[in-house]
Amino acid sequence: MILVNNPGSWTYIYPPLQHAEWHGWTPTDLIFPYFLFIVGVAIPFSFRRRLGTVAQTGHLMRHVLRRSLILIALGVAMRAIPTFDWGEMRLYGVLQRIGIVYLAAGASYIYLGARGRAVTGSILLLGYWAVMTLVPVPGYGAGDLSTEGNLASWLDRL
């Protein structure tokens, strides 16, 4: 990601290291989803031996919450250092999103069974689709999935 975000010269960038404009993808665009995939794959291996008693469940949930808050704080700190500017502050950066997803995935693994996780995942996907297509964005209306007109982009610009 160092080469992607800081290539040295923005004039000469190896094409696979560029992000897709909007439609399509490049290898660079797969890095964040792979991080989330690995977080999800690691959870059962990490949690399985620790689960079993109510006391261990509470301790594990505190561990998940602590780790999530650390990821979120690191993401905020990375944007705040070396110069702090509210105009440049992104509350929904990459580390913050990984922290939120880890918290949700960890809690669902701890408290829900396989069926509960499948139902929760389905509800989240359908809910995301519904929100993105049915909630109107100021100045664009509902269902506009363009770069500027979608709800996620609008929230990110707040």
Per residue in 8-67, pLDDT tens?
A: 777 778 777 788 887 788 888 888 899 899 999 999 998 988 887 766 888 999 999 999
Cβ atoms < 10 Å from Cβ of 12: 7
Does residue 154 share a domain with residue 81? no
Handedness of CA 133, 103, 17, 154 (dihedral sign): positive
27 and 46 inside one domain:
yes
Q: How large is the average pLDDT for residues 62-73?
A: 96
Let me know whether 59 and 71 are in one domain: yes
Kindly state the average pLDDT of the residues 92-100: 89
Please state the domain count of the chain: 2
Same domain? 107 vs 119: no
CA distance 37 to 137: 30
Q: Do 45 and 94 reside in the same domain of the chain? A: yes
Residues whose CB is less than 8 angstroms from the CB of residue 73 and which lie 6 or more positions away in sequence, other chains included: none
**Do the Cβ atoms of 124 and 85 come closer than 8 Å?**
no
Q: Does 106 lie in the same domain as 127?
A: no
Angle at 13 (CA atoms; ends 10, 14), nearest 5 degrees: 170
Contact indicator for 4, 28 with CB cutoff of 8 Å: yes
User: What domain range is 56 assigned to?
Assistant: 2-111
Closest CA to 35 of 9, 1, 7, 65: 1
Please name the amino acid found at residue 26. T
Both 86 and 103 in one domain: the answer is yes
Domain end point (choices 77, 95, 111): 111
| pLDDT for position 94 | 87
